[in-house]
Amino acid sequence: MIRRLGGAVQFLTILPVHARDVSLADSAIFFPLVGAALGAAASGIYLLLAHLLPAPLSSLLAILFLVLATGGLHEDGLADAADAFRAGRPAEKIFAILKDSRVGAFGALALIFSILVRWQALNALGPHSTIELIVSEALPRTALVVLSHIAKPVGSGLGSALGTGLSRKVTILAAAQGIAIAFLAEPRLACALLAGTAALLWVARSYFHRRIGGVTGDCLGATGQLVECYSLLTFVCARSIS
């Protein structure tokens, strides 16, 4: 189990962990837990900076920490997917763009809007938003595992490595972690978060299957970013009407 946790940390962060003899699919069991840890760390940084800097700058630096700590893994997937999945493009063209390391106009816009949404949401929630950040970082990593299991892997990258070897047991245990972490929030809010995440997963699976016959690593990363934005916005809406 320790090796699996190390594998999850190695894949999801830039921490110098060298997990050996453990596959990406086996490490996925701890993806939600690593996401929760990232959220807790970001919350600590936000709270510390809030004593020194204005709230908008503190929240932006907390988001920057998350981007740097994860090596921009999910942001890269979002940018590639935004550039590739244009209306009318055949699957061959989409795959070619997904493999291209350059960022186009749509990819840049997607990154800008993603960072702006998360920044402003976190700024609205304030520095005392530990639970919000923990849940909002755990659910996207849970979504990666579930989408990898319910969708067909295509291509030959990390998405294929994750989806091909992912067992039902690992998926269920990872999903159970995500659900438990979601219920750190108020029960009705947790149900809204989980229902919205499930809806996003269903839409993503249907869309990617229709366009390219399955999902790649970039598709997983893009979906994770959408789930993260949805989670933070849901917390903001709940705070606004309470």
Query: Which pair of structure tokens corresponds to residue 98?
Result: 């997904």
Report percent pLDDT > 90 for the chain: 73
Domain edges within the chain = 72-241
Q: What is the pLDDT of residues 44-59, one digit of tens each?
A: 999 999 999 999 999 9
Q: What is the pLDDT of residue 102?
A: 83
User: What does the chain come to in residues?
Assistant: 242
End-to-end Cα spacing for the chain: 41
DSSP 28-77: GGGHHHHHHHHHHHHHHHHHHHHTTS-HHHHHHHHHHHHHHHTTTHHHHH
Position 163: which residue type? Answer: G
Q: What is the pLDDT of residues 153-210, one digit of tens each?
A: 997 777 777 878 889 999 999 999 999 999 999 999 999 999 999 999 999 999 999 9
Q: What is the pLDDT of residues 93-140, one digit of tens each?
A: 888 888 887 888 899 999 999 999 999 999 999 998 999 999 999 999
